[in-house]
Amino acid sequence: MTPITLLFLAVSMSADAFAASISKGTELKKPTFRHAIGIGLVFGIIEAITPVLGWAAGKASQQYVQAWDHWVAFTLLSVIGLHMIVAGLKKDGKVEHRKQTLWLLVITATATSIDAMAVGASLAFIDANIIATSFAIGLATTIMASMGTLLGHRLGKFVGHWAELIGGVVLVGIGLAVLEQHTAFF
């Protein structure tokens, strides 16, 4: 995986956390920098752990799917990307106001990182450096979620769906690149 691909992957994986953190920022009305960093760290740490879990599962099953692993990676990345695109298109801009709790934040961060687990599994099939990838995803998510929290009270209903749309398109593109690299499909 090239550094540019890694950057695009990390940013696209942080798109759903960015969208969720905008909602959190909207709920906080006027978040402080300290609060934004705290929210970003929760999202970033969870988003950095889940690809490693997925990678471990992918490595454990790799011997069984090695002949068609690139198709598995393509399918997983494409399905996740298409799901993000559909979710981005369905956003209506309404903001729900809920009480902020750490558990609600952890649940939200976990829900937005499930796709990172599937991406981690697909990365096992192409022998990507999971430590560098996990660190990049966690760092990008921390930064994006912190920014999203700070921007949330101003841009909440305008920006969130675009982040998911763009992230989904990038994941489908990475899936196509994996397929192109491992087959003569294109």
List pLDDT tens digits, range 152-165: 877 766 665 676 67
- Residue 147's contacts (CB-CB under 8 Å, 6 or more residues apart) are 18, 21, 36, 40
Work out the angle at residue 106's Cα, subtended by the Cα atoms of residues 115 and 55, and round it to the nearest 5 degrees: 35
Give the DSSP per-residue string, 15-58.
HHHHHHHHHHHHHHSS--HHHHHHHHHHHHHHHHHHHHHHHHHH
What is the per-residue pLDDT for 138?
A: 97
CA distance 85 to 11: 15
Please, are residues 12 and 175 in contact by the beta-carbon 8 Å criterion?
A: no
pTM: 0.72
Residue type, 160: G
pLDDT digits (tens, 9 = 90+) for 95-122: 454 556 788 788 878 877 877 888 898 8
pLDDT digits (tens, 9 = 90+) for 57-90: 888 887 776 667 678 778 877 887 788 788 778 7
Tokens of 70: 């690139």
Is there a contact between 169 and 177 (Cβ–Cβ < 8 Å)? no
More confident residue, 3 or 79: 3
**What is the per-residue pLDDT for 161?**
67
Angle at 70 between CA 112 and CA 48, to 5 degrees: 30
Which residue is it, tokens 């990008």?
140
Q: Is the torsion defined by CA of 98, 102, 107, 108 positive or negative?
A: positive
Contacts of 1-7 with CB under 8 Å at 24 or more apart are 1/123, 1/126, 1/128, 1/129, 1/133, 5/174, 5/177, 6/132, 6/133, 6/136, 7/136, 7/140
